[in-house]
Amino acid sequence: MKLCFYLATKNKNKFKEIREIIGEEIEILLPPDNIEFPEEKGKTLEENAFLKAEYLSRFIKNEYIVGEDSGLFVEKLNGLPGINSAIFSGERDDKKNIEKLLYMMKDLKTKESRKARFITVACLFGKGEKVFFKGEIEGYITFEPRGLNGFGYDPIFEIPEIGKTFAEMKTEEKNKISHRSIAFKKLKEYLIKKAKEG
């Protein structure tokens, strides 16, 4: 039987990325449309990832469920926007979130002072599992948005070794190196190893 898990997210961009990262070996299922997740109340990415998975597990039994929480952490802003990245401007609006962040960073004039990291935590839950997988990537916040691909803060997050923002990269390029791909490749390895052990 093919390995599969439910992904406890409403974010279609995340789903798309994770499906591409995981590939064909594992099937990924979305929650039924009528399920609305409660507001994220956790204080850490781990807590929120777990809460999303646990919530979906109330509706879906005897299956693996994965909750994912991610965020952008700017060093000089003491980790903002952090776990509130999705609604930083007060709204779930990528453009407004970016505008607010760039405004808050307007006095940070050097590249070094604009250091940031994206972090993803995935929580594998169900069938007796509660395991966390983390991925991080370091970069810089650009002075203005660049590129049209991706989602969220991708247009202002530059990878120094490549000199491109995530939004200037093709999906495959982002998915090779991203915080999300680091976390989900670990999860994939874990599930495959478990399945082999029987």
Task: Tell me if 194 contacts ligand ITT by CB under 6 A.
Answer: no
Q: Check residue 165 for interaction with ligand ITT (CB under 6 A).
A: no
Contacting ligand ITT (CB under 6 A), which of 57, 70, 89, 165?
70
* Backbone phi and psi for residue 155, each to the nearest 5 degrees, phi listed first: -70, -10
Asked if 69 touches ligand ITT (CB under 6 A), the answer is: yes
Indicate which single residue of 14, 134, 186, 194 sits in contact with ligand ITT (rule: CB under 6 A): 14
86 part of the interface to ligand ITT, by CB under 6 A: yes
Q: Does position 188 bind ligand ITT by CB under 6 A?
A: no
| 180 part of the interface to ligand ITT, by CB under 6 A | yes
> Which CB atom, from 57 or from 97, has the smaller least distance to ligand ITT?
97
Q: How many residues interact with ligand ITT (rule CB under 6 A)?
A: 22
Encoding tokens for residue 73?
């952490």
Token digits of residue 4: 């599969």
How far is residue 144's CA from residue 102's CA, in Å, rounded to a whole number?
7
Contacts of 167 (CB under 8 A, 6+ apart): 145, 146, 147, 148, 149, 150, 154, 155, 157
Region 121-150 residues binding ligand ITT, contact defined as CB under 6 A? 150
Nearer to ligand ITT, 162 or 192 (CB): 162
Binding site for ligand ITT (CB under 6 A): 9-11, 14, 40, 68-72, 85-86, 97, 118, 150-154, 166, 178, 180
Tell me which residues are annotated as active site.
Answer: 69
